[in-house]
Structure 1
Amino acid sequence: MNIEIPVWRDPQGNVVACVEKLKVMQENLEEISQMAQDALEDAVLMGCDEHQVRDFLVRLMQSLQNPYQS
């Protein structure tokens, strides 16, 4: 991944320090990154406009729902 990973915080601003939680988060983000990269590459190879695909991927991420909101 070519992006700096932030220090993860909980909703109260406390640092998430659990090694196992951080490991899972890192693995999930690496998997998402690789899948998004693959999708972009496939789209470009199929003749899609790179900027349109990138814009869609941003909107896709922004549309994710938090099922745990109270």
Structure 2
Amino acid sequence: MPLELPVWHDADGNTVACVEKIKVMRENLEELAQMAQDAFEDALLMGCDERQVRDVLVSMMQNLKNPYSS
């Protein structure tokens, strides 16, 4: 699944230019997108409401916790 990814920035607004960091971000997001797509398709095949499944997936992302915040 091709993803259009943004230019990544750090908390100060500086561009993240490290090629390895950008590669890891892309790989992680591609894997996450595929897992979400698989879960979405499974839910639809099981008869779940599409809108509800989308809402749950969005809610999961919005509720992620930052373990590094102070």
Relative to the length of structure 2, the TM-score reads 0.96
In structure 2, the residue matched to 1:20 is 20
Supply the AA of the counterpart residue of 2:21: K
Deviation at 1:39, TM superposition (A): 0.3
1:69 matched residue in structure 2: 69
Any unmatched runs of 5+ in structure 2?
Answer: none
Q: Which runs of 4+ in 1 moved over 2 A?
A: none
Cα distance in 1 for residues equivalent to 2:39 and 2:19: 30
In the alignment, structure 1 residue 41 sits paired with structure 2 residue 50: no
SS in 2 for 1:15: coil
TM-score by length of 1: 0.96
Equivalent position of 2:8 in the other structure: 8
Superposition RMSD in Å: 0.9
Equivalent pairs: percent with the same residue?
71
State the aligned residue count.
Answer: 70
